[in-house]
Amino acid sequence: MILSGQPEQPRQGQQHGSRLNMKIDLAICRIITAVLLLTGSSSFAGDWNLLTGTSINDALSQRSIVYTTASSPSQTFHADGTTTYVEGRPSLGYWKVVSAQYCSQWPPSNSWVCYDVYINSVGNALRFIGDSGELWQGQYQ
């Protein structure tokens, strides 16, 4: 607890809680991602293959995906490098392929966030996995 305005120091032999919690959270995200990749789900059965370079561009350009979340948002990837994400109201962003990853930017942020992209063996679904283990999965519309 912080009462004096100074961060609480860990007790002798104890790691700093927030750093430890962050490491545990990251490890749990990686484990969950690995389990999801290995087990799949019945609606997205089959093997998943990592896409790279032009394969990512081919999988996304002029295509739309509906994500598998409760609100079923959709995203369209336009050939000119713009992308439209619709969850209630549309949001316009940008996308590009950098090396072996799909990257997106959503104004007003100037930051690009990149993901590995996997396609299922049937060719009707994609998975996007971020560096910290977050997973987005969707099916072609």
Helix (H) or strand (E) holding 52: none
- Among candidates 113, 88, 92, 91, which has minimal Cα distance to 101? 113
pLDDT digits (tens, 9 = 90+) for 57-98: 999 999 999 999 989 999 999 999 999 999 999 999 999 999
In a domain, 5, yes or no: no
- Domain CATH number, residue 106: 2.40.128
pLDDT digits (tens, 9 = 90+) for 11-42: 454 444 544 544 545 444 454 444 444 444 43
Q: For the chain, what is the domain count?
A: 1
Whole-number Å distance between alpha carbons of 21 and 83? 35
Taking residue 110's Cβ as centre, other Cβ atoms within 10 Å add up to 7
In a domain, 92, yes or no: yes
Give yes or no for a contact between 103 and 91, defined as CB atoms under 8 angstroms apart. Answer: no
In a domain, 12, yes or no: no
Give yes or no for a contact between 121 and 114, defined as CB atoms under 8 angstroms apart. Answer: no
